Amino acid sequence: MKDYKREFVSFAIKRKVLRFGEFELKSGRISPYFFNAGLFNTGKDLETLGRFYAKALTNEGVEFDVLFGPAYKGIPVATATAIAMSNYYGEDIPFCFNRKEAKKHGEGGTLVGSELKGRVMLVDDVITAGTAIRESMQIIEANKASLAGVLIALDRQEKGTGELSAIQEVERDYSTKVFSIVTLADVVEYLSTHQDNTEAIKSINRYREKYGI
């Protein structure tokens, strides 16, 4: 595992964004771990988070013109990533995000920030069923832009509705690639090199036998 991936898992655990126990997911599954990106909730956290996203984007080498972060948790992700791309890679990249409810006065509409045009890099925290990504695709297509790729923080590597993962379904349906800063396999590798994680690893392995891809 690359150093920055190890550092990301450590950062998420320290900030209690990544926790172990018993959690009910949107899908109804009971998961032995949960990733709550809303707990990256200070200026320093966002600075660090943006640096990880920018690093992953640069490592993957995908070309894109604009960052798009779906409301709500995608908004600080896109903002922090754009700042980090400028600070660390000298690239001044436009970014935009949507409103969940259209604004009826002033400038109106659902988009805030730069124009949504060209090749769009969608950034968000996690994909579960793929709903947020599908909604974002409607916005991207309505603006005649194209999808360059998707970057999320954690790939849970679990089945969607069928045998494929929700991520694989998104990749198939939109002929795109979904990247992640880390995967569940990275999390398990990290846990196995640190003490007192035997129970958490056992529970995750049981969960993976049932829902893993």
Closest approach, Cβ 125 to ligand ORO, in A, equals: 7
Tell me which of 36, 48, 168, 203 binds ligand ORO, using CB under 6 A.
36
Contact of 84 with 67, CB cutoff 8 Å: no
In the numeric block, the tokens 């600075």 are attached to 47
Within residues 36-75, the interface with ligand PRP by CB under 6 A covers 70-74
Instruction: Give the HSE-up count for residue 45: Cα atoms under 13 Å, Cβ half-sphere.
Output: 16
Closest approach, Cβ 141 to ligand PRP, in A, equals: 17
Q: Which is nearer to ligand PRP, 82 or 132 (CB)?
A: 132
Tell me which of 130, 147, 151, 207 binds ligand PRP, using CB under 6 A.
130
Strands 178-183 and 95-103: unpaired
Q: Which is nearer to ligand PRP, 32 or 70 (CB)?
A: 70
Closest approach, Cβ 26 to ligand PRP, in A, equals: 6
Tell me which of 1, 7, 19, 25 binds ligand ORO, using CB under 6 A.
25
Neighbours of 32 (CB within 10 A): 19
Dist CA 82 CA 76 (whole Å): 10
Q: Is 105 a catalytic residue?
A: yes
Tell me which of 41, 131, 161, 198 binds ligand PRP, using CB under 6 A.
131
Strands 30-35 and 18-24: antiparallel
DSSP 155-213: E--BB-SSSSBHHHHHHHHHT--EEEEEEHHHHHHHHHTSTT-HHHHHHHHHHHHHHB-
36 binds, among ligand ORO, ligand PRP, none (CB under 5 to 8 A by kind): ligand ORO
Dist CA 94 CA 86 (whole Å): 10
Tell me which of 48, 58, 86, 128 binds ligand ORO, using CB under 6 A.
128
Q: Which is nearer to ligand ORO, 35 or 64 (CB)?
A: 35
Q: Which residues bind ligand ORO (CB under 6 A)?
A: 25-27, 34-36, 126, 128
Q: Annotated catalytic sites, by residue?
A: 103, 105
